[in-house]
Amino acid sequence: MTARKAGRLIGMTIIGVVAFGMALWVALGQPGIGLGSGSGTGYRDSDLDSNVPPGYTQCKGTCPGGYFDDNIELFLGTNPLDPCANTTTANDEADDKWPPDFNDDRTANVLDVIMAFGDRMDTCQGNPQYLRRSDLNADTCITQADADIFRPYLLTTCQELFPDPDNDAFPTMYEVAMGTDPADACPDNPNDAAWPPDINNDTTVNVLDALLFSPVLNQCWPSSLYNPRFDINADRCIDQTDMYIVGKYMLTNCTP
Ligand SMILES: [Ca+2]
Ligand SMILES: [Ca+2]
Ligand SMILES: [Ca+2]
Ligand SMILES: [Ca+2]
């Protein structure tokens, strides 16, 4: 191949990668789109953490006032893989894990009500008082319907049942399923799978990781193309929800 041809090919490849990356970026930036309203009807339940102890029957389809689908949690910004805060100290964690627990102290009480709904009731996206975190049914407005979802959890607590010893926000049970190291939060070399969203183990989550999804996207177990490394929420299908979770970490990096 001549140098010019090679240069042109590389140029086109780069344009292709950038275009795909931009499309992906747009898609990844919109986990809330199309969620609809609170019942949960209309999307597959991929709520492995269930926000209830293991052994409970996961809700399928309609979950009135019940469990939180992974896509709802992605919309809210809570961790879809972990049902309970690490500590009982309020506001000491980077992420909320249990949607009704707004101050991450493992109890849903009046403090959470004030934090969630205090001056936000009857506001919609676009209003400065609107906050996605309080929009428990992901319908882009904070209304009585969201308070109704919260109510059954009032004065209840959650238990930490999904330990995450390396504190990388991916509990051990998920890391074991993915084949990443549950005791290491960052790859030491390209063969050291340690940080789930960093598919190519180069310590950065970027479009290169996202591109690796394309051959396995929409593959479910027992398809021969199904690869558990990409099934971030361990629901046996590799789909947009897994990409959204990776998308949360887009353009971030870890330090080995
Ligand atoms: Ca709380
Ligand atoms: Ca890890
Ligand atoms: Ca990477
Ligand atoms: Ca999945």
Going residue by residue through the chain (256 aa), what tens digit of pLDDT does each one get? 444 544 454 444 444 444 444 444 444 433 333 333 333 322 233 455 554 433 334 443 334 334 688 888 889 999 988 888 899 999 999 889 989 999 999 999 999 999 999 999 999 999 999 999 999 989 999 999 999 888 888 888 887 778 899 999 999 989 999 999 999 999 999 999 999 999 999 999 999 999 999 999 999 989 999 999 999 988 888 999 899 999 999 999 999 9
- For ligand 2, the distance from its centroid to the CA atom of residue 229, given in whole angstroms, is 12
Segment (H or E) for 150: helix 144-150
Selection from 245, 240, 235, 234 nearest residue 218 by Cα: 240
- For ligand 3, the distance from its centroid to the CA atom of residue 37, given in whole angstroms, is 34
- For ligand 1, the distance from its centroid to the CA atom of residue 94, given in whole angstroms, is 14
User: Where are the chain's structural domains?
Assistant: 35-162, 172-239+246-253
- For ligand 2, the distance from its centroid to the CA atom of residue 144, given in whole angstroms, is 39
- For ligand 1, the distance from its centroid to the CA atom of residue 237, given in whole angstroms, is 32
Q: Using the 8-state DSSP alphabet, how is residue 58 labeled?
A: P
Note the ligand closest to the C-alpha atom of 101.
1
Cα-Cα-Cα-Cα dihedral sign, residues 251, 253, 239, 235: negative
